[in-house]
Amino acid sequence: MPEGKKTYYINISEGEISSVSTASPWNFKIEASDEEITGLREIFEQSYSTGWQDFMRAHVPYIQYHYDRENDALDSLLVQTYEMIYKLGDEEAKKHIESMGILPEK
């Protein structure tokens, strides 16, 4: 593990970051510095203030998804989240995110 980095377990849908794998269900394992974890927490906080939970569960049926600016903001935050997890994640996390096709091509 790189110097100054710790292992964290990420639950995307709940926006949870834990240093204990058995504390709650998790999706991704990452190695991150305190600064990187602070950045990820900030993205989660922005996402929740914009309505991430509602977005993750279901879209409002009478608003066409591609015309909803709130969804555009959430899409951007979701991509930022996955980019950061991809950068910090273990091989399994990287492969899973690649298989999702959510990250923009570089």
In residues, how long is the chain? Answer: 106
Residue 103: band (very low, low, confident or very high) from pLDDT cuts 50, 70, 90: confident
Is residue 99 within 8 Å of residue 30, measured between CB atoms?
no
Residue 24: band (very low, low, confident or very high) from pLDDT cuts 50, 70, 90: confident
Is residue 24 within 8 Å of residue 11, measured between CB atoms?
yes
pLDDT above 70 covers what percent of the chain?
73
How many Å apart are CA 25 and CA 74, to the nearest integer?
23
Q: What is the amino acid identity at position 102? A: I
Residue 65: the pLDDT is 45
Taking residues 59-78, report their average pLDDT: 57
